[in-house]
Amino acid sequence: MLYLVHMQVQIPHGTDAAHADALKAEEKAFSQQLQREGKWRHLWRVAGEYANYSVFDVESNDELHALLAALPLFPFMKISVTPLAQHPSAIAAN
């Protein structure tokens, strides 16, 4: 199943810089692992924001929720999820 996920990161002001940097490094490693596994198919930055739009390819709502909740920056994110379906006019198959 494909999902369009919008993630907005809001690390609170005053957060220890070293701790924030460690979380960001963990987040990068985990996201790249999921990309290599084919679960995180696309990752696009929103220009001018600490946010992204991503496409996930996972088996279920529960799997997506588990992956998102496992992100190191999850406690600092506002997330919206849109399930996707193949459009009948699309020439490329998923």
The total domain count for the chain is 1
User: What does the DSSP assignment read for 61-83?
Assistant: HHHHHHHHHTSTTGGGEEEEEEE
The pLDDT of residue 92 is 83
Q: For residue 13, tell me if it sits in a domain.
A: yes
Can you give the pLDDT at residue 36?
Answer: 98
Indicate whether 25 belongs to any domain. yes
State the residue range of the domain holding 59.
2-84
The answer to whether position 89 is within a domain reads: no
- Is 9 part of any domain? yes
With respect to residue 38, please indicate whether it lies within any of the assigned structural domains.
yes
For 62-78, how does the pLDDT look when each residue is reduced to its tens digit (9 = 90+)?
999 999 999 999 999 99
Residues of the chain falling short of pLDDT 70: none
Name the one residue in this structure whose structure tokens are 């960001």. Answer: 24
CATH number for position 27: 3.30.70.1060
Kindly state whether residue 94 falls inside one of the protein's structural domains.
no
